[in-house]
Structure 1
Amino acid sequence: MSAQGREPGHNPFKSFKLSIFSDKLSDIIATSFKAFLIIIFILTSVVLVFHSFFGSQTRWWPRYPDTLLNTTTTRPVCVDPSRTENPTNLSHIVFGIGGSTETWSHRQKYSRLWWRVNSTRGFVWLDEQPDPNSTWPENSPPYKVSSDWTKFRFSSSQSAVRIARIVSESFRVGLPDVRWFVMGDDDTVFFVDNLVTVLQKYDHEKMYYIGGNSESVEQNVLHSYGMAFGGGGFAISYPLAAELAKAMDGCLDRYYNFYGSDQRIWACVSEFGVSLTNEPGFHQMDVRGSAYGLLATHPAAPLVTLHHLDHLEPLFPNHTQDESLNTLIQAYQLDPARTLQQSVCYYKNWGGIWSISISWGYTIQIYNSFLLPPDLQTPIQTFKTWRSWANGPFTFNTRPISPDPCEQPIIYFLDWAHEASKRESLTSYKKFGAESPKECKGKVDYRRTVEKILVSAPKMDSQEFAKAPRRQCCEIENFQYGKMKVNVKSCGL
């Protein structure tokens, strides 16, 4: 093509150069922008990492107001395996007892049974100041008055709000060297040595919620099987109490429709993912009538608490309830770990075979026939349910009292308890005539000749419960002149 054929002023080489220059400029700009973004990303990452390690521990998820999804506590939860601190003892426990000025006057007798001046720590929490004209008993827990409890809403019981706050208020008192906060009612009897035995099994640096259910199924269904019933008492470890102290007021607003204080505490504890650790020695005693059948077949666990004693028949016949408790505690002080522990043995004589069940420090039963251990360990139903006064159901098996006098046991109750030596106790049980069965017709009943039973037992090491708990057995040493001598020992030896 001739030069005359081109458009005037058009230079193809110049256009090509401009195109190349434009493309290079775009690439430079794009590259620079990418580099700028990379630099910003790196700087942002460095700042975030620096903040995570050295800044405040900000959480990146929403949470309830006043609750603690952030479970940071005021002391470490993890435990150093090489830790050599002393085992938990009574000085590490703070008791929080729910009471009121109205109930304290006739219930303080229960606290006097177990409170140890200069040894136990804690308070009875009242709704208002006690009568200034009356003197507070020195052998009872000191008192404190609950604060700020009337501002919370409730659906049925305002006092339940106040008592639910005892955990957090006890924590805020700030007593030193506390490992456990133990709650109970002013009519709860604690067996404090056995309470220490139970708590020694658990790591107080972890979050624990320890207690027991109700004996009546209807009560557990109404409230919760996962809840520790407050009258039976429960223990909360220090780290969990620290969290509850910060969260409880918020929980009271969320669970205002619940009935009891123990139900509110359980609901708040569940927000931290902590479940109930069930210990069978905490006894709510949600039964009516006589608790005899329950106490005569106590599980292989330390007796920790008894509750609702105002609503039960006296534990010993021909005694008041106060006298009954004093008799039981006489034996308890001699050998705390063995109290109510059941042992079983058999005695073959000219009249047949006797089955003997011993509830140490309380009662002995002699049957005029051979009963297998699973039968003897099943409580005789001497009681009814708490709410409906029905024959059940309960959270354990029961067996009825037979109408046949030959199948009914002859019953003996503790008469006295002595220390035979530093390592051995001797207890005496006397036949209770009014509870003995009518004449067993058609079968010679030599049991009636046994008026008194002496039981020799080695003092029980409380650490046995930290191993694999076993029910112990017994053997008949001799039987003559209306007296039977029985030795308690380990089964199979």
Structure 2
Amino acid sequence: MSQTPETLHYPPQLRDFLAFPNIKLPDTFSTFMKSLLAICAIASISLISYSTFSNHSQWLNRSECEQTFTRSSYEDYYVLDHEETNISHILFGIGGSAKTWNDRQHYCESWWKPNVTRGFMWLNEKPANNTRWPETSPPYRISEDSSRFRYTSWYGSRSTVRIARVIKESFQLGLQNVRWFVLGDDDTVFFTENLVTVLAKYDHNQMYYIGGNSESVEQDVIHSYTMAYGGGGFAISYPLAAELVRVLDGCIDRYASLYGSDQKIGGCISEIGVPVTKELGFHQVDIRGDPFGLLAAHPVAPLVSLHHLDYVEPMFPGLTRINSLKKLVQAYKMDPGRALQHTFCYDLKRNWSISVSWGYTVQLYPSLVTAKVLATPIQTFVTWRSWSQDPFTFNTRHMSEDPCERPVIYLVDRVVEVGTGQTQSMYKRTVDEKGKQCGEKKYLPAFSVQYFNVSAAVFEADLWKKAPRRQCCEVVNGDHGVVGGVLQVKIRGCNRWETVTPP
């Protein structure tokens, strides 16, 4: 409502002047005061009009996207405190299906923490009437009807349109204190402590799109190298999400021919002009066969996610896929930042090379192998689409059928805490399923090692804020021989000038 000069609030001196208009003042002073009064009135009216227009303008900006949003733009977000990013700042949006949930809920429940993690499982319909939704799973919501959108990919599924809109429907909830939207599938396994570690490196007030590519080149060629793959999961900062949801529906129709929801989101983010920031710990696991070689030579980066575990062999022979995952997660919980971290060293007393993937496996080579070779994954798998031997987005080395050309393999048995901030992981020698064992003389001493005990300090998350470097290890009881079939190894930070260089 506008205000006339008579209803405006004035300083006491001006109120007195207005209350006694018959007071005689010098003409010059009277003219001056009337001019001043007019200026004040105009300024007040302008200020009120601007405020009204500004509020109206803000409402219009909100309505461009959704009037139901509680925050219209990411500028509002800047006023939040500057505490370090933690799990409460992440909102998960998991794309799922009511029909597949019973088969896949174990993957979600391996990482979901009720009352700690925030987010929703987005389903196409309500679960069956006789299905009681477990409290150990993310709460579910039903996606909006997406039948109005175009979808022309001849080999895909219309469900990808619905899943592409999970980011928008999550944003529309208007939940407070959200810095990152993390999207994934119902068979994506997140390692949440490491996810927080990765996202905490980035300024959440900026536009970020963080994830990883497929491991199989054929997938990247068909779909894209410039997008984050949805199965491995990806993170979108709040400011980018605010821009994305404004144009997402139009993008879905523009990219109707694209196969996947992650492709559609990637195309839309490309229109905004934000490139994908690649983090090596997001794993699509677009491979077939045995994932051993991939997991045994993890890059120097926190383990953030695993996908497609139903499509590869169990990580631990003799266990089911779910029990294999549980075993890996048990080790991970003892030292999240160190999970799958790769290190190797030499036992120069015996000319042995020892490769450790913490919490998973130890490989013993009865020879001195260069660091270049040890850091290269053994190819125990084939490509995702064509089941071919190559190519992959990383180098691999051949896994020989000859047992005399293969390392002796040990798999984690258990991880225990042995003191404040210290762990000991134990690895037990595996038996070749085909009963093959090398009979060469140099292998015989190696077979006397039945167990590896690996000690290490708990990996501090702050180490990931520094330039990445693989940690070092050393054989502790090398001078005293293998006692009781156990070889002791210690992992530690590298000393200055220290390298893994064979003599």
Q: Give the structure-1-normalised TM-score.
A: 0.83
Q: Deviations over 1:253-291 (max 9, x none)?
A: 111111100000000011110000000000000000011
Looking at structure 2, the residues matched to 243 and 93 of structure 1 have their Cα atoms a distance apart, in angstroms, of: 18
Please name the residue that 2:201 is paired with. 201
Q: Is the 8 A contact 1:368 1:445 kept in 2?
A: no
Partner of 1:347: 347
CA–CA distance in structure 1, aligned partners of residues 448 and 442 of structure 2 = 14
Which one-letter code corresponds to 2:319 in the other structure? H
Runs of at least 4 residues off by over 6 Å: 54-58, 77-80
- Which amino acid in 2 is paired with 1:132? N
Q: Deviations over 1:204-236 (max 9, x none)?
A: 110000000000000000000001010000000
Match of 2:302, as an amino acid? P
Amino acid at match of 1:456: S
Q: Larger Cα Rg: Structure 1 or Structure 2?
A: 1
> C-alpha separation between the residues in 1 aligned to 2:441 and 2:485?
22
Give 3-state SS (helix, strand or coil) of 1:480's partner.
coil
Secondary structure of 1:101 counterpart? coil
Contact 1:163 1:261 in 2 (8 A): yes
The 3-state SS of whatever aligns with 2:373 is helix
Q: 1:97 aligns with which of 85, 94, 99?
A: 94
Aligned-residue sequence identity (percent) comes to 54
| Counterparts of 1:55 and 1:142, CA distance in 2 | 38
Q: Residue in 2 aligned with 1:9?
A: none
Asked if the contact 1:209–1:236 (Cα under 8 Å) also holds between the matched residues in 2, the reply is: yes
Q: Supply the AA of the counterpart residue of 1:203.
A: D
Q: 1:446 is matched by which residue type in structure 2?
A: P
Match of 2:85 among 79, 88, 112: 88
Give unmatched runs, 5+ long, in structure 2: 1-49, 58-63, 66-70, 497-503
Closer, same or farther in 2 for the Cα pair 1:437/1:84, shift >3 Å? farther
Aligned CA RMSD, in angstroms, stands at: 2.3
Moved more, 443-452 or 270-279: 443-452
Which amino acid letter does the alignment assign opposite residue 96 of structure 1?
Answer: G
Matches within 5 A, 1:233-312: 233-312=233-312
| Alpha-carbon distance between aligned partners in 2 of 1:77 and 1:259, rounded to the nearest angstrom | 35
1:452 paired residue number: 451
Work out the CA distance in 1 between the residues paired with 2:81 and 2:72.
Answer: 22
Superposition pairs of residues 77-226 of structure 1, within 5 angstroms: 85-156=82-153, 157-226=157-226
Question: 1:150 Cα deviation (Å)?
Answer: 1.2
Q: Letter of the aligned partner of 2:378 in structure 1?
A: I
The answer as to 2:355 corresponding to 1:357 is yes
Q: What TM-score, normalized to structure 2?
A: 0.82
Q: Cα–Cα, structure 1 residues 87 and 437, in superposed 2: closer, same or farther, change >3 Å?
A: farther
Deviation at 1:295, TM superposition (A): 0.3
- Report the counterpart of residue 412 of structure 1 in structure 2: 410
Partner of 2:473: 474
Change (3 A) 1:73 1:372: farther
Q: Secondary structure at the match of 1:242?
A: helix
Mapped contact 1:473–1:489 kept (Cα < 8 A): yes
Q: Which runs of 5+ in 1 are unaligned?
A: 1-50, 59-64, 67-71
Whether the aligned pair in 1 keeps the contact of 2:366 and 2:442 (CA below 8 Å) is no
Shift of 1:373: 1.1
**Per-residue deviation, 1:437:** 5.3
Paired amino acid for 1:324: S
Q: Deviations over 1:282-320 (max 9, x none)?
A: 000000001100000001100000000000100011111
1:84: how far off?
6.5
Letter in 2 for 1:149: S
From 424, 427, 430, give the equivalent of 1:426. Answer: 424
Q: Distance in 1 between matches of 2:383 and 2:212?
A: 17
Contact 2:362 2:411 in 1 (8 A): yes
